[in-house]
Amino acid sequence: MNGNRVYNFNAGPAALPLEVLEEIKDSFLNYAGSGMSIIEISHRSKWFDDIINDAVARTKQLLKLDDKFKVLFIQGGASMQFCMIPMNFLRDGETADYVNTGTWSTKAIKEAQILGKTINVAASSEDRNFSYIPKEIRFNPDAVFAHITSNNTIKGTQFASFPETNGLPLIGDMSSDIMSRPFDVDKFGLIYAGAQKNIGPAGVCMVIIREDMLKKIPDELPSMLKYTTYADKNSMYNTPPCFAVYTIQLVLKWLQETIGGLDKMDAINRKQAKTLYDAFDSSDFYQGTAEPDSRSLMNVTFRLPDEDLERRFIEEAAENGFGGLKGHRSVGGCRASIYNATTMAAVEALADFMKSFEQKNG
């Protein structure tokens, strides 16, 4: 426990930086001298205009985006993007390539197929229960775009580097590792990320879209399902999720001013992940579920010798102030999600608990 707060390893909604929560608390009843809460101010006010513009600016600074990229905030979560992407970019007679690395990419493929779109699975790790990231990916040069899920929260796998597409626009679901490390944005036509894992609360999806992609969008789509609607109105065609955007702004400020940018965040994340992976690599009691060269820096997934021990581990962990260690219901086991806001103190405390639990039960 950290005071009266647990060590939070939830997979999403997930931990937020304590200083961000404290700033929200301080301004919740009277934001910036307005006499109103942040959840009461008008989205047409100067207060919110400053918030959303600062969130966009900080996103561009952290990711080194130039003016050819637009930063949008859209409701509906990442799951809404599963249908918006093929609706906006894939016309009759065209095809798109998807890499299937588990649950979320499987759902993205399914949503495109529901719309009657032609999808080619360029590579898949289903043959080994999605325990690895495919290395050999052959994209179709005639495809309209290539889609990947950068990090698999359920199976604990992650692209260590992004595949070469030979000019094909890459679309990335980065819901669980956005802002966790620097990367080359230029090969991406679109990036989307549900906020509730690494950059904010539930209720908003960050979309980063290249301007040339906006030119491909058909006019006949419903207004709220077109990226141009959000790009043309600075994400304020209708009332945006103001509180969620405000929290993202504070998290981005924390990343810049407290952490010092994505290079430093990446170093912290690697150190924390190594601490946990070392804990079960040196043990016969804990077994990782992801193949070593595909391990996620965000979601550390592991099993114990049997399900009874796993239940006891999760129960005793909760009694000792560790929250969110139960694996996803679809796979069972255990999972520690160590997103940006997770502290080294929390990770080290968990590693110590794992050792003591093994000593008593191994």
Enter the DSSP assignment of 219: T
Is 196 annotated as belonging to a binding site? yes
Please state at what angle helix 77-89 crosses helix 103-114, rounded to 10 degrees.
Answer: 40
By three-state DSSP, how is residue 156 classified? coil
Catalytic residue among 47, 97, 155, 173: 173
Query: Other CB atoms closer than 10 Å to residue 242's CB: what's the count?
Result: 23
Which among 117, 197, 226, 326 is annotated as catalytic?
Answer: 197
**CA angle at 192 for the pair 68 and 259, rounded to the nearest 5°:** 85
142 is catalytic: no
Residue 56: other Cβ atoms inside 10 A: 23
53 in a known ligand binding site = no
Query: Is 223 annotated as ligand-binding?
Result: no
Per the CB < 8 A criterion, the answer to whether 204 and 248 are in contact is yes
Catalytic residue (one of 104, 117, 254, 326): 104
**173 marked among binding-site residues:** yes
Is 173 annotated in the active site?
A: yes
> How far is 116 from 288, CA to CA, in rounded Å?
38
The whole-angstrom separation of Cα 102 and Cα 295 is: 14
The verdict on whether residue 238 carries a ligand-binding annotation is: yes
**197 catalytically annotated:** yes
* Selection from 331, 314, 330 nearest residue 322 by Cα: 314
289 is in an annotated binding site: no
Catalytic positions are 104, 173, 197
Annotated binding site: 44, 78-79, 104, 153, 173, 196, 238-239
Annotated binding site for pyridoxal 5'-phosphate: 78-79, 104, 153, 173, 196, 238-239
Annotated binding site for L-glutamate: 44
